[in-house]
Structure formats: structure tokens, C-alpha cells
Amino acid sequence: MALSMSEELDNFVSSYVENANECGLAVPFDKDWPSSCYQSEGSQGQLVQWRPVRQNVSVSFDNVAAALELELDEAYCNYFTRYFSNNLIAHAPQGKCELLQVWNEDDFERLQQNLIGHLLMKQRLSQQPTLFFGLTDEDDFILTVINSTGEVALEQVGQEPKEILAPSLAEFLSVLKPAPPQNS
């Protein structure tokens, strides 16, 4: 039986953290950008350890859905409301990618604003609604979920999806391999 998106994300995050244990996960500490991901406090700019943590606050995309009168893909919404984390680097069968994540509640608000902008652009271009969740090594190409079908697609910004990569977000996550972290 196939695993749910949440289970696949949990598996990937566990693998990512396990893979990172060799060199650790570190980011520059920013006292003005707090997160439960920090494993300790530090001086401004000092590298400190971090790790993905399950969200313990209630955040949702309800305001985005209401503002645009659009029901958003459930797996997509669950993807961004499961963890606080730095972005996660992965290897997909098609190449390297970066899974976007939210660092804190303010970052979630910023994500929603960017998603509204993306969806309004799609509407203005008379294109089907897509929901971005990742970056690729190719300029201007992003990973999206096609809102009406739940399929994961490769999309050039401002264009219709170029290629279907997986039938669902869960199936896309199931084939990813963690990439070694690049500590800042």
C-alpha cells in the first residue's frame, strides 16, 4: 500500500537528518528570524546546529483559498503545515532539487503571499493553477503541484507545466534521496 504524503515527507526528513549527522546541519544564527529549528542560540551570524521540527502551531492556507476562491490541493497544504525547517536539498531521478520549507510562522505568511502572487499570475495568463514547492538547478524552472490533479510537474515560470514528474506529491517524495547539506 502506498504511503501518504505526510508519511513520505516524514521518511524523507528522517533520512535527511540521518544523512546530515556526518557533517551536521548548521545555519547562521539570526536573532531577528527565530525558529524552533535552532538547536541552540548563538551570536548573530554564528553557525549553529538546526534540524527540522514538527510544527506545534496551527497554520493553514484557508485565507489563500478564500481570497482566490480556490480549493487548494490537500497534500500540498499538508506538506507546508507539517514541519518548520530550512529548505532541504535532494536528488530526484531527474536531477538535484531544493524542497522549499517554512522556517517559522512569519515565513509561512511570506510563502502564502508568494503563492497568491503566483496564482494571480497563472490566472492572468489563463493557465491552470499550480502550487510551487521546490526549485531546480535549471534557471526559471520550479517544481509544482497541479492543483486540479495533484500531479507533480516541472514548470518554467510563467508557462504551463512542461513535464509531469509524478502522479502525486507522495510518489515524488518517495523517490527522493537526501543530498549532503551545504552548510552556510
| Domains within the chain, CATH numbers bracketed | 5-23+52-178 (3.40.1580.20)
Mean pLDDT of 134-152: 95
Mean per-residue pLDDT of the chain: 93
Q: What is the pLDDT of residue 61?
A: 95
Per-residue pLDDT tens over the stretch 158-183: 999 999 999 999 999 999 999 966 65
Mean pLDDT of 109-125: 96
C-alpha 95: how far from its chain's center? 17
Q: What is the pLDDT of residue 182?
A: 61
Per-residue pLDDT tens over the stretch 62-100: 999 998 999 999 999 999 999 999 999 999 999 999 999
